[in-house]
Amino acid sequence: MSLIRYRRISIRRAWAWPLLVAATIAAADEGKHGPGDVRDGYERADYKTDSSSLQSRRGSATDLLNVLSNVPLGLPAIPVPDDNPVTAVKVQLGRKLFFDRRLSANNTVSCAMCHIAEQGFSQNELRIPVGIEGKSVRRNAPTIYNTAYLERLFHDGRETSLENQVWAPLLASNEMGNVSIGAVIERIESLDDYGERFAKAFGRGPDMQTIGMALASYERVLVSADSPFDRWYYGKQESAVDASAKRGFEIFRGKGRCSACHTVTQDSALFTDGQFHNTGIGYRATMRPVDTEFDVLLAPGQATRVESDLARTTGATNFRDLGRYEVTMLPEDRWRYRTPTLRNVALTAPYMHDGSLATLRDVLEFYNLGGVPNEVLDPMITPLGLSDAEIEDLIAFLRSLTGSNVGSLVSDAHAAPIGGS
Ligand code: HEC
Ligand code: HEC
């Protein structure tokens, strides 16, 4: 703590506003510093990030469409909507858009900055990401891998197709900050490297449908499986995983009751039932008192102490999260979130919809204690009585779920042009 230099700021100053939105998050996790709070050592001026710089990005393109005919072991066929068949031109266009910072209102934020390829297309260093002008987003950035299979998108399942989903980040005032759909279309029309590509892909220019269709086509082919687990369980290769991971899988299906929600079937495994459950994570965050004074780390070794009556002045209540209830308004849906896939879970820390659990061990210890009791806790969540060795086995199993093509997908992403660099 003594290594940190503090400045005091008053929330009455307008320029401090974006910081405060970021700061609000800090209140949620005592002992931590808000955005950046899973960056161990960030309080030291010599902190080194795990993210690669633009200059150090090196990669080679891969045949992304190959997965459509050769689905990786362990996954079912990729569902493709009739009105948006995947083509190579669309995927290339979608990939270009995904990495283009010019899609944000001030040319600074691309999709790929929150869904970072080398971090499982999620974000390891931030519990919750920071969007345009330093504004924090309320929830953890989920992986893009295998979103092709999801019938309901977002932690609360409020969106139903990849094509439509793109408009949420493009228009959110704390993500990419565009003021309207028309503004995004005009922006893309004004860039001379897009007209021809849209014409080739769709026979027309950028519009509300084609922008979504292009981005969705890229995301749809980011599927990843054929993991050591798949090679053992579906491929019958005995030596693909070790004894600990095998024991872990037995606990996963047995004593741990994990597969009741993280589904595994005879021929394939998405590790999600697509349903919404209350494990108590959201309840705990909602019940936590809001701090009136706390630190925000702005850069390595640089912190700001912020003091305020947050609930009143910054709308801290916006960061309360009621989960599926916010979509359905049904009382029983309070603090329910969609069961996330566990494929590639070793790559996508921190965990849960708010990123409040830093490691897989934290997640297992959370389940072992029976989640956080509340009046609408899922009946499947009860204390498990797992020994330390059983927890280690479960972790070994979860670590065996990293797909074999992750390296080539990351390399392909690093070969993508960065718009606005
Ligand atoms: C500022 C960070 C940020 C940016 C920029 C961003 N996202 Fe996200 N993304 C998130 C967060 C956070 C969520 C989860 C939000 C929620 O569940 O309410 C999310 C969710 C998603 C999901 C749903 C995944 C799932 O498991 O349901 C998809 C797909 C996605 N984003 C794609 C994109 C695309 C495409 C873009 C660019 C047009 C983009 N994102 C830009 C942070 C970001
Ligand atoms: C009642 C259904 C249910 C059961 C049983 C269950 N989970 Fe979950 N799991 C969920 C839900 C829902 C979430 C997301 C919670 C959130 O976002 O706040 C989740 C989140 C996770 C995550 C974090 C994934 C991420 O990307 O953030 C891991 C890891 C996990 N579960 C593993 C397990 C294991 C291991 C077991 C068994 C010990 C288990 N789960 C049992 C429903 C369940």
C-alpha 340 to ligand 2 mean position (Å): 7
Give the number of the ligand closest to the Cα of residue 112: 1
Closest residue (by CA) to atom 42 of ligand 2?
339
Residues 296-307, mean pLDDT to the nearest whole number: 77
CA of 3 to the centre of ligand 1 (A): 34
CA-nearest residue, atom 18 of ligand 1: 154
Apex 211 CA angle, 108 and 172, nearest 5: 45
288: which 2 tokens? 């936590």
Token look-up 């993500």 returns: 175
CA–CA dist 143, 116 (Å, integer): 9
Q: Which bin fits 117, alpha (ψ -120 to 50), beta or left (φ > 0)?
A: alpha
pLDDT of residue 14: 34
Give the mutation target among 175, 222, 271, 337 for probing the ligand 1 site: most ligand atoms within 8 A of CB.
175
Ligand 2 centre and the CA of 415: distance in Å? 33
pLDDT of residue 417: 85
CB 187 within 8 A of CB 102: yes
Instruction: Tell me the per-residue pLDDT of 8-62, one tens digit each, with 9 for 90 and over.
Output: 433 333 333 333 333 333 333 333 433 344 566 777 888 877 666 777 788 999 9
CA distance from start to end of the chain: 35
Best residue among 139, 261, 334, 393 to mutate for probing ligand 2's pocket (most ligand atoms within 8 Å of CB) is 261
Q: Which ligand is nearest to the CA of 370?
A: 2
To test ligand 2's pocket by mutation, which of 339, 368, 397 has the most ligand atoms within 8 angstroms of CB?
339
Q: What pLDDT is stored for residue 28 in this prediction?
A: 37
* pLDDT given at position 283: 92
- Residue 95 Cα to ligand 1 midpoint, Å, equals 15
pLDDT digits (tens, 9 = 90+) for 66-95: 999 999 999 999 999 999 999 999 999 999
Q: Write out pLDDT tens, residues 124-170.
A: 988 889 899 888 888 999 999 999 999 999 999 999 999 999 999 99
C-alpha of residue 32 to centroid of ligand 2, in Å: 23
Joined together, the tokens standing for residue 300 give: 């390595």
Give the atom of ligand 2 at the shortest distance from the alpha carbon of 368. 38
101 lines ligand 2 (CB under 6 A): no
Token pair, residue 421, equals 């660099």
Is residue 337 classed exposed, middle or buried when 0-12, 13-18 and 19+ CB atoms within 10 A define those classes? buried
| Distance separating alpha carbons of residues 415 and 421, to the nearest angstrom | 14
- Token pair, residue 263, equals 């589904």
Q: What are the pocket residues of ligand 1 if the criterion is a CB atom closer than 6 Å to any ligand atom?
A: 109, 111, 113-115, 129, 131, 137, 139, 141-142, 144, 147, 150, 153-155, 162, 165-166, 169-170, 175-176, 215, 219
Would you say the CB of residue 145 lies under 6 angstroms from ligand 2? no
**Atom 10 of ligand 2 has which residue's CA nearest to it?**
339
Position in ligand 2 atom list of the atom nearest CA 337? 12
The per-residue b/e assignment along 97-108, b for 16 or more CB within 10 angstroms, e otherwise, is bbbbbbbbbeeb
To test ligand 1's pocket by mutation, which of 101, 106, 115 has the most ligand atoms within 8 angstroms of CB? 115
What does the pLDDT read at residue 11? 35
Q: What is the mean predicted confidence (pLDDT) over 175-197?
A: 97
Neighbours of 52 (CB within 10 A): 15
Of 350, 287, 366, nearest in space to 37 by CA: 350
Tell me which of 353, 367, 374 to substitute to probe ligand 2's pocket, judged by most ligand atoms within 8 Å of the beta carbon.
367
Tokens coding 351: 């965990």
Pairwise CA distance, residues 192 & 79, whole Å:
33
Q: 215 to each of 86, 165, 166, 270, how far by Cα in Å?
A: 11, 10, 7, 22
Over the stretch 236-264, which tens digit does the pLDDT of each residue have?
Answer: 999 999 999 999 999 999 999 999 999 99
* Residue 394 Cβ < 6 Å to ligand 2: yes
Q: pLDDT tens for residues 359-379? A: 999 999 999 999 999 999 999
Question: Is 187's pLDDT higher than 60?
Answer: yes
Please work out whether the CB of residue 45 comes within 6 Å of at least one atom of ligand 2.
no
The residue whose C-alpha atom lies closest to atom 39 belonging to ligand 1 is 111
Mean pLDDT confidence for 287-295: 71
pLDDT digits (tens, 9 = 90+) for 188-236: 999 999 999 999 999 999 999 999 999 999 999 999 999 999 999 999 9
CA of 278 to the centre of ligand 2 (A): 10
Tell me the two tokens of residue 3.
Answer: 């290594």
The encoded tokens of residue 264 equal 């595994």
**For ligand 2, is residue 279 a contact (CB within 6 Å)?**
yes
Predicted pLDDT of residue 50 = 67
7 pLDDT tier (thresholds 50, 70, 90): very low
Residues 324 and 156 sit within 8 Å (Cβ to Cβ):
yes
Instruction: Fill in the amino acid letter for 352.
Output: M
pLDDT reported for residue 312:
41
Residue 163: the pLDDT is: 98
- Give the per-residue pLDDT at 156: 97
Q: Return d(Cα 238, Cα 242) in angstroms, integer.
A: 9
At 420, list the tokens.
């606005």
Give yes or no for residue 309 having a pLDDT over 80: no
Ligand 2 centroid, distance to 378 Cα (angstroms)? 11
Minimum-distance ligand 1 atom for the alpha carbon of 170 = 38
